[in-house]
Amino acid sequence: MKSIFHPQSLLFSPEEISKKHLDRYDSLLSNINFSPLKDSHPSKGRNPFPKDVLLSCLIYKNIRSIPTLSDLVRELNEHPNLAFKLGLLPSKSIPPVERFSSFLRDIPNEFLQSIREDLLLKLITLGEISGRFLSTDSCPVFAPVKENNLKTIVKDRFLKTKILKGDPDARLGIYVTFPNENQKKISYFWGYKNHVVIDALSELPVSGITKPANIHDSNLLIPQLKYLKDTFSLPTEAVIADSAFDSASIIEFIVKELNAKPVIAKNPRGNQNPELKISSKGAPICIAGFEMLSRGIFFDKIQNRKRHKFICPIRGSKKFAKKIPVCPWWHPKFLNGSGCITYLRVDVDEGIRKSIDYGSETFKKLYNLRVSSERIFSRLLSISMQSPSVTGLNAVSNHCTIAHITVLAVALTAIKENKRDKIRFIKTFIPNL
């Protein structure tokens, strides 16, 4: 389909373009290494627009918080001088919406991740990102589907096994809001989550991955931390996270692989029996004071972990039952079933969690750095990361990665322009440059 817009000539020659505003985009874009896009496979069909130009336009879209691709195309047509600064030649038409959609849908995400990594390395070299304290969290990204519009009538709106016609890659997820101090509200949505690791001191993202909304946050933290360790060798001293990441495997990885301090809030569901005692033989002691019987080690496919099963000695041993035939505590599980059952994990060191001093001032001070996650998400959302106008996992992943590129590019430009205090001024940096 041909563009409804026609090529426009420049109102002024390139030499007459205002230095006061438009040249600021030159400064920003000059700090971005677009070379990974040149390694991508050329598209078939019509002569393609340069991919670096399309990316430059999408970065401009973020800085101006332009909500849709249609609005971006309209803006470029109304300001041909700006389009020229972004790399569009005056002799060519402005890319139509489908060209931007095709770029987001078809370009492999690893190419954009390479650009993001290059910006990150430059910021590390300049000393802005230290990686001493890392914070992690995730942000919901809503798919543009009717199921997310509560004003529409949709059958089985929140059926988790449903595959949406509008976006087959989107999945059902939840997000939590706090309408007031004492109220917690859980809402459902269809879409994705952008999982981010943040340098807590600079409040800049160092890792970002987008997955369907039904993927739990804790499943992606260890791969992200491995990536940061192998790629950047950051001297991490602590990893900060909320209770969603209170996992024995995560805590063990932070301590043993990163040699860092796990500053992770307790998850009450993960400590249902904190007073459980262990005998000298490594078996749990039941509430009646008896050593429980082993019933072997097995792999729990649902929870993806190795567990050691122990059962009530009265129910599991006839010899023991002759001495003590009834549970002294008259436990309901004994009266109504086969007695108490306890599982111990054997694939991680559960003792590491017990060594964490949750109530110390050091723990509380470090945990307060987690607000950096809230601040960076606030900035990413201010450039419309949460509301993509495209569908599909790859397109949405690219949409989110470009948001990260924008944030890092602004920070790098601010440092090079000797305005280090404005590295987080995403929307107002260009006017104040």
pLDDT tens profile 355-370:
788 888 999 999 999 9
At residue 27, φ and ψ (nearest 5 deg) are -60, -45
**H or E element: which one contains 189?**
strand 183-199
The angle subtended at Cα 287 by Cα 286 and Cα 293, nearest 5°, is 15
Crossing angle for the helix pair 97-106 and 51-63, to the nearest 10 degrees: 100
CA distance 166 to 319: 64
Cα separation, 217 vs 142, whole angstroms: 16
H helices then E strands: how many in the chain?
A: 17, 11
Q: What is the pLDDT of residue 4?
A: 45
User: Is 54:72 a contact under the CB 8 Å cutoff?
Assistant: no
What is the average pLDDT across 248-277? 80
Contacts of 186 (CB under 8 A, 6+ apart): 174, 175, 176
Distance between CA atoms of residues 307 and 298, nearest Å: 6
pTM of the model: 0.82
Residues found in the chain: 433
89 pLDDT higher than 80: no
Other residues' Cβ atoms within 10 Å of the Cβ of residue 190? 26
How far apart are the C-alpha atoms of 346 and 341, rounded to whole Å? 16
Tens of pLDDT, residue by residue over 100-114, are 999 999 999 999 999
Q: How many CA atoms lie within 13 A of 92 on its CB side?
A: 13
pLDDT, mean of residues 365-385 = 87
Domain ranges of the chain: 14-107, 111-266+363-432, 270-348
Q: How far apart are CA 202 and CA 127, in angstroms?
A: 10
Residue 47, by phi and psi: left (phi above 0), alpha (psi -120 to 50) or beta?
A: beta
Computed over every residue of the chain, the mean pLDDT equals: 86
Strand partners, 205: 198
Using an 8 Å Cβ cutoff, are 25 and 60 in contact?
A: yes
Kindly indicate the confidence band of residue 178, based on its pLDDT and cuts at 50, 70 and 90.
confident
Per-residue model confidence as pLDDT tens digits over 14-56: 444 455 567 778 888 899 999 998 755 555 556 678 899 999 9
Q: Look at 54-68, 152-166, 256-270 and tell me which has the smallest mean pLDDT.
A: 256-270
- 80: how many CB neighbours lie within 10 A of its CB? 18
Q: Coil, strand or helix: which one is 343?
A: strand
pLDDT of residue 2: 42
- 260 pLDDT exceeds 90? yes
Mean pLDDT across 140-146: 94
Structure tokens at 266: 């307790």
Give percent of the chain above pLDDT 90.
50
Residue 160 has pLDDT above 60, yes or no: yes
Please check the confidence at residue 80 and state whether its pLDDT lies above 90: no
Query: Residues with Cβ < 8 Å from 175, sequence gap 6 or more?
Result: 140, 186, 187, 189
For 278, list phi and psi in degrees, rounded to 5.
-120, 135
11 — pLDDT class (breaks 50, 70, 90)? very low
At residue 27, the pLDDT reads 84
As a whole number, mean pLDDT of residues 113-142 equals: 94
Tokens of 193: 């989550």
Sign of the dihedral through C-alpha 186, 189, 193, 196: negative
The C-alpha atoms of residue 307 and residue 285 are separated, in whole angstroms, by 17
Long-range Cβ pairs for the range 75-82 (8 Å, 24+): 77/5, 77/8, 80/8, 80/9, 80/10, 80/11, 81/10, 81/11, 81/12, 81/17, 81/18, 81/22, 82/22, 82/25
